[in-house]
Structure 1
Amino acid sequence: MSQNSSWVFLPGTLCDERLWFRMWKQMHIQDRRYVPLQWANNLEEMDALTSYACDNGPVTLIGFSMGGYIAARYALANPDDVEHLILLGYDPAGLPDQEVAQRKQFIRHLQNGRFTPMADSRLAQFISASGANADFTRQMVRDMESDLGGSVLLAQTRATTEREDFCAQLATAPFKTTLIGAEQDRIAPLQRLAQSAALCGANLIKVEDAEHMFPLQKPELVATLLEQA
């Protein structure tokens, strides 16, 4: 991949640019851009922020988790703006019905003003206490959660719960698509990503000994994988 092209990064739910900081230090790219999805109140604002960052494309568009959904959505609507779509910890087939139902219940909970820090059991689904680089990763997740808060979580969850199945569209898209998944990811399991990659005609890259928050767990490795994708 050309390191002279523009690289546009989108974060996941309740994440900000801190998700990428340690990776950016390892990367040799001249034009790096960040989409502050935490600023958006709805899906239309997320699309607008992404469009602004992709100006003067085509770009390499990189989205993590929820940011992967926004990145894929934008790329399919604006294929001339994208040279390479890289989706980390995101399944372009969409969310399972059970997860959609759970998220809708959670939205009602947040709408009633009941935002509380993530339970340790929920955090363990993203990064376990015994995972690689666990202490730093868990603290960073907690810090971003505390700083961004309930209003951002509500806006992001409400905007991105109904996710289309993009596999068929990606299979015929004119840009290159790469999926990157973690071996021990419990949010976007690698087996599901492998199935979707086959449907999309996409390359699948596995990050070993890592969980859903693998950009924080293994930034040096992921930076290298991105530059080689």
Structure 2
Amino acid sequence: MDVLVVEDNKSVTSMLEMFFIKEGIDGEFVHDGSEGYRRYREKDWDLVILDWMLPGMDGVTICKKIRESGSKVPVIMLTAKDSESDQVLGLELGADDYVTKPFSPLALMARIRAVSRRYQGEKASAPGTRDVSTSDFQISKETREVFLKGAPLTNLTPKEFELLYYLSQHPRHVFSREQLLERVWGYDFYGDERTVDVHIKRLRNKIGSKDKPYLHTVWGVGYKFDEAAGDEI
């Protein structure tokens, strides 16, 4: 597994290098954003880890450029910013996950393994993955296209697509945050469960309305996909 880490804190990279060696991961560590983006373009990486604040070019810009190139390589953001707006920005630009500093190396390793498994699994299973067709939605896992009442939705992030795809496969089934983290994110979550809330909020704003949100909150339990009109439960 080839992982590019763009992080200017050398104590963090030293710690990660030690864990990478233990886990058998081939990591390359770059301390400047512009140099990191150059190295990204020179090789086919299995995973990219980006610090948010970097000299030369910040991690958010690098992530944006990666997604604009059409690449689906998994991206994990490392950030000291823990506000919801900052998290939303990184995810909106195409990051698969974020880890807030200070973080546990073991937690990061769990994220790396999970993101990698999901990425490789998607590539292997895409041709045989069934589409979802509901009254209002047509969703293709293979082409990653979403049509709402016949109109294409082109502004979904990768994780928003996966969340919508999973929930729409199980209409009216209520999932807890923990279940969604396990089944959509693919790992036992070590961080803040607000990750699910942020994605649900953004996705609901993109696909629904106040009268017909599609994604309903079941208070004290979790979330469900339901095309029935009405406010949140």
Higher helix share: 1
**What TM-score does the superposition give when structure 1 sets the normalisation length?**
0.29
Computing the radius of gyration over CA atoms, which structure comes out larger, 1 or 2? 2
RCO (CA 8 Å, sep 6+): is it higher in 1 or 2? 1
